[in-house]
Structure 1
Amino acid sequence: MRILLVEDEQELAGAVQTVLQHQGHVVDHCSDGLEGWTLLSGELASYELAIMDWMLPGLSGPELCRRARAAGLDLPVLLLTARAETADRVEGLDAGADDYLSKPFAMEELLARVRALQRRQPRYREPVLEVGPYRFDPQSGQLQVSSSDGVVTIPLAGKELQLMAYFLEHPGQIIPGSRLRNQLWDLHQDPVSNVVAAQVRLLRRKLAGHGLDSPIETVPSRGYRFHAQLPGEP
């Protein structure tokens, strides 16, 4: 996507811009709300997402968002702010923001919010994920696993689909259950719930039902790890 980042904290802006560019996005940055409005409203503007801070010189984030909506701009807007009170969140959303991220935040959470907003675009198609013998098309929900015996196709849906996509995006990494819960479940989910372990068991059962060993390893006290090779392969 082409993204406009309006953030006056230079160190944070540089970090966000670098992370987004590593994900393949084109990022234009400015540090002033009025300059942000000039870029958004320009005749050649073609932004697909705006990320803006709340407290900005010139125009605040909510004011900039209101101007954009009043002008008919319908691109998604992610508002960044250290103001975490419910009234502040309501004000930001009422101004026209699509999502709200409180500072300080993890870059991984920022990327997850960006992906969620990206999926709302009518022309967006999630990329096919390929790792080792595993090929997953989130659009169709089909996981294909290649082996010496041929290709096994497994339909996935709901949380199975989301979990598999997340594991394939992070192969070989130990992923804490808390991170999976925060990324894939409602923020109001019971923080001590075993919902992640239960869903991983269901996904393993789905794979076993198609004659496959699970590539998802439980790492005691640390989380889960997805192995990119089939069991028994080097």
Structure 2
Amino acid sequence: MKEIKVAVVEDDIEIANILKLALSREGYRVRIFDTSEKLLNDIIEYRQKYDVVILDIMLPGMEGRDACKFLRERGIGVPILILTALSEEEDKIKGFDSGADDYITKPFSVRELIARVKALLRRGGRTEEQIISPAGDGVKFFDDSRTVEINGNRVYLTKTEFAILKILVENAGRAVRKDELVLKLGGRGSVRAIDVHVKNLREKLGNEGNKIKTVWGIGYRFEQEDSGKDK
């Protein structure tokens, strides 16, 4: 049976020890870091691989979200669970936009955290999947690295951006309501958050982002060709 390795980045030694004990009881091999820099050095310089990273936001030196973004920009797709005392919706959006897969706030239930780690491990165990756009647009989705290739350009997306684009592409030519997107995303977030994610999607995709059309009063539509309407 494959050994599961979990990295915990937490500068509060009491919380770090609680997490190490709970995760170790599940049979995971746990390594604790008290700064983002130590984690990044371990992954980038020493090429250590982890199955899940639990990353606090408020850390000395580089904050957790910046460390998350740093890893994603280098194509490292390890599942990341953000652990933080920040609970406002805007804070959560920033966490997901940095490339986090999940978000749990302090104080937290150890049982819930373990359940979320297990969910990330199940998700991370899938084989890489490619989906071709039904619009024949040559859009390919790579689940393992959470990247998308569109017209030869490969771009890293956050978990929510990836899911939104996949939904729009699978429904190419049809306007997808914002509340429908929220529902298909598991009810997380809000209509306002959808607008923020779509804005970020367009920026990341560059010229290809113009294929995501705003349908006023309804939602968004993915078009194969830029017709110049509904911008």
TM range (shorter): 0.5 to 0.7
Aligned to 1:25, which of 25, 28, 49? 28
Deviation at 1:46, TM superposition (A): 1.3
The CA deviation string for residues 131-169 of structure 1, in whole angstroms up to 9 with x for no partner, is xxxxxxxxxxxxxxxxxxxxxxxxxxxxxxxxxxxxxxx
Tell me, yes or no, if structure 1 residue 8 matches structure 2 residue 28.
no
- SS of the residue 1:80 aligns to: strand
Tell me, yes or no, if structure 1 residue 90 matches structure 2 residue 93.
yes
Tell me, yes or no, if structure 1 residue 116 matches structure 2 residue 116.
no
Deviation at 1:44, TM superposition (A): 3.1
Deviation at 1:68, TM superposition (A): 0.4
- SS of the residue 2:99 aligns to: coil
Task: For 2:125 and 2:84, locate their aligned partners in 1 and report how far apart those are by CA, in whole Å.
Answer: 28
Give the equivalent residue in structure 1 for 2:42.
39
Deviation at 1:51, TM superposition (A): 0.4
Give the letter aligned to residue 92 of structure 1.
G
- SS of the residue 1:120 aligns to: helix
Deviation at 1:41, TM superposition (A): 1.5
Q: Which runs of 5 or more residues in structure 1 are unaligned?
A: 125-185, 189-234
The CA deviation string for residues 182-234 of structure 1, in whole angstroms up to 9 with x for no partner, is xxxx788xxxxxxxxxxxxxxxxxxxxxxxxxxxxxxxxxxxxxxxxxxxxxx
CA RMSD of aligned residues (A): 1.6
Give the letter aligned to residue 64 of structure 1.
A
After superposition, where does 1:150-169 map in structure 2 within 5 Å? Answer: none
Task: For 2:51 and 2:87, locate their aligned partners in 1 and report how far apart those are by CA, in whole Å.
Answer: 26
Q: Max radius of gyration: which structure?
A: 1
TM-score, normalization by structure 1: 0.52
Q: Which runs of 5 or more residues in structure 2 are unaligned?
A: 128-185, 189-231
Give the letter aligned to residue 69 of structure 2.
R
Give the equivalent residue in structure 2 for 1:53.
56
Task: For 2:44 and 2:21, locate their aligned partners in 1 and report how far apart those are by CA, in whole Å.
Answer: 25
Q: Which runs of 4+ in 1 moved over 4 A?
A: none
Give the equivalent residue in structure 1 for 2:106.
103
Deviation at 1:28, TM superposition (A): 0.7
Distance 1:117 1:105, change over 3 A: same
Distance 1:20 1:187, change over 3 A: farther
Task: For 1:55 and 1:7, locate their aligned partners in 2 and report how far apart those are by CA, in whole Å.
Answer: 9
Task: For 2:101 and 2:79, locate their aligned partners in 1 and report how far apart those are by CA, in whole Å.
Answer: 6
Give the letter aligned to residue 65 of structure 2.
P
Q: In the comparison of the two structures, how many residue pairs are matched?
A: 127
